[in-house]
Structure 1
């Protein structure tokens, strides 16, 4: 190997690790800011406004979100759109990183039933594209930094290395028109993504350990018990979870069509979503927010709630999440959908008396399988909150959810959805 080539390869590996670290640090920073905003808005102010504070906060939030979208465009783009652009074009536009980051935080501040992964991933992809553009003179390898950083960000957001590791290896390399890309051998890809993910998780977890905050993770459920009673109830509990995932897909399709028919009215849509979210939150408080903190709180008090309340919370959650996303409170759906599965699982555990962690595994995997339609990726994602030994429950339940057929109009909506372009 020529000295110049060796130097470029060495520089590339160092850049990959640094890119992963930057991605992890940026994820931590935005989550830290998110937590500060939520703490101020939802722990300090309610004392001055009484029990109907959610209505005031969500209406004001809808106005701000709608006006921001009217001024800057429909940011952030959803996770699938970001990933699609990165894979097809090998890059992601970085000219509006400021508005993109603010738009990702606003719905989270005001209690939106969305996750932060869409906005965070888009911002990271833009940053990595900017870095890659300035280092491409060192070789075509550096144009892969966008893909590398995006997957590293996913690993940091979900604290699920296997999910972030598998995602980039499941598709083709970016093939942007006129792009100078190279086809790395699979072994090289493994090394590259391993380095990026290590850098991302190292920075993310290191900053969290130093400051004691900034993270976003669901609780870990490890005390899994599997007996004959659990096996007898496995299919009914998974069926309930799959039904929740089916409902999510139907609601998402219906609300997408409703949003399209309303036309370009970002303020009105965001206010409507805010009102519905607030009413749901007043009746069932756990239906608000992304769900990671709420899952921990629910784990401490679920035995004091009725099965009806727990199941209703999960079902309402799968409605308000697509409502938020389709009506302008843009963000991801992974965290709130996982929370919906957890709430359904606790409800079924209350009804049947099965081991609660078993019920959570079966219901959550089936619900996520129905939404993601990829059982293996569902399982890799859910390893962030369930132990590896739960694979014997997670995989069959996720497969059950994935094979439940959707109505034709929902299938047509999925196929016809085109990535929304943010206005320049």
Structure 2
């Protein structure tokens, strides 16, 4: 056995432990939020004699969720972590004592119908816990190892495959100074990602797989549609990016987090009442339902859901709700792609949705591999990937060098 192999071998049990632990935290928080959601949006309104998704109940629930989230941010130790508008997908480890407040606020977001996903709070919590526990139990190991394992395990759990984690980490590693072979550096995170994704697959049903029709292969018309739809998705995402600093400034002009989050809840309630049930929550289950029954919606209804969901995403992130922006951005892309297919039937639904998701994610995350992978997972077919690779090129030219859907602490956009 070579020295390199002997060095990698002891990392396997560490990676397995972190990957499984990351997935268990993700599934645990998600399942708890779903149980609470069934009560808040099922048993409780029925007991009060209200329709669970009536405009009145949507307004009540989003407003109360904003109020409760504000109380958590105000009173719980650590204030549920930093302002989510200033954080990206992967950040430096936070104080582990802040994790309970962050998970409580994130759980309220998921259960209360706010248009944010679980990815940012779960990633931040797993990184903080892995870093703290790893430093205590194995102080000789570098801190960056624990961060990499937690990120990989969580992304593997979130997206259901270790490939997503490997692709995201190659972007991070490209900026580092480590001269070791790429696969030596990827080996421990890939083990953690595989453990995380398998754990999630065995005990949960979290998946991005949709009910889109089969796509047999690209034609010339598909190539044109891909370029146009991906570019439209990128432009829509950029519109949200440029509005984001102003909405953030507006909500944070209020002198207290309880006021800011309650006001955000009121606005989200109005948007939810306008857009309907499918524009609520993180968007994963709603996206599947939308693709399974897309024929029941016309162009206008689909476009309305797309725009309402994007507005809700910007408002939720601006007001300070704890949650991630990838899951709702995927719903935005799916609704945009389906509306393109409804307007122009020649646009295949697979091409429309996957390319729109690609464009929206490129604009909001600037994560090329993650955007390409997520778009491809929606309707996995051999003919989709070449179309996506072509569609990525003009969309990337539109977004590169422009701000992200993320702010610096002084409120200026991150580029």
Common fold by TM > 0.5:
yes
The worse-fitting range, judged by mean Cα deviation, of 356-365 and 389-398 is 389-398
The residue that corresponds to 2:57 in the other structure is 53
The residue that corresponds to 1:109 in the other structure is 111
- TM alignment of 1:147-226, pairs within 5 A: 147-172=148-173, 185-208=181-204, 215=206, 217-219=208-210, 221=212, 223-225=214-216, 226=218
Cα offset, 1:396, TM superposition? 2.9
Once the two structures are superposed, residues 202-256 of structure 1 have per-residue CA deviations (whole angstroms, 9 ceiling, x without a partner) of 2222222xxxx5x354526461243344344344333332222122212223212
- TM alignment of 1:21-420, pairs within 5 A: 21-47=20-46, 48-50=49-51, 51=54, 52-72=56-76, 73-77=78-82, 78=84, 81=87, 85-86=91-92, 91-137=93-139, 139-141=140-142, 144-172=145-173, 185-208=181-204, 215=206, 217-219=208-210, 221=212, 223-225=214-216, 226-260=218-252, 262-285=253-276, 286-354=278-346, 355-387=348-380, 389=382, 390-404=384-398, 411=403, 417-418=408-409
**Do the aligned partners of residues 330 and 358 (structure 1) sit closer, same or farther apart at CA in structure 2, a change above 3 Å counting?**
same
Cα offset, 1:277, TM superposition? 1.3
Structure 1: gaps of 5 or more residues = 176-180
CA separation in 1, counterparts of 2:405 and 2:200?
A: 34
CA separation in 2, counterparts of 1:282 and 1:415?
A: 27
**Do the aligned partners of residues 195 and 263 (structure 1) sit closer, same or farther apart at CA in structure 2, a change above 3 Å counting?**
same
CA separation in 1, counterparts of 2:391 and 2:134?
A: 41
Cα offset, 1:45, TM superposition? 2.4
Task: State the TM-score, normalized to the length of structure 2.
Answer: 0.86
Q: CA contact under 8 A between 1:93 and 1:129: conserved in structure 2?
A: no
**Do the aligned partners of residues 21 and 295 (structure 1) sit closer, same or farther apart at CA in structure 2, a change above 3 Å counting?**
same
Aligned residues: 399
Q: CA contact under 8 A between 2:251 and 2:264: conserved in structure 1?
A: no
Cα offset, 1:405, TM superposition? 5.4
**Do the aligned partners of residues 381 and 305 (structure 1) sit closer, same or farther apart at CA in structure 2, a change above 3 Å counting?**
closer
CA separation in 1, counterparts of 2:133 and 2:147?
A: 8
CA separation in 2, counterparts of 1:387 and 1:62?
A: 37
CA separation in 2, counterparts of 1:277 and 1:218?
A: 27
The worse-fitting range, judged by mean Cα deviation, of 198-207 and 110-119 is 198-207
CA separation in 1, counterparts of 2:98 and 2:410?
A: 17
The worse-fitting range, judged by mean Cα deviation, of 51-60 and 65-74 is 65-74
Q: CA contact under 8 A between 2:45 and 2:57: conserved in structure 1?
A: yes
**Do the aligned partners of residues 13 and 253 (structure 1) sit closer, same or farther apart at CA in structure 2, a change above 3 Å counting?**
same
Q: CA contact under 8 A between 2:66 and 2:263: conserved in structure 1?
A: yes
Once the two structures are superposed, residues 129-181 of structure 1 have per-residue CA deviations (whole angstroms, 9 ceiling, x without a partner) of 122112234x3257612221122101211224222112223225999xxxxx9
Structure 2: gaps of 5 or more residues = none
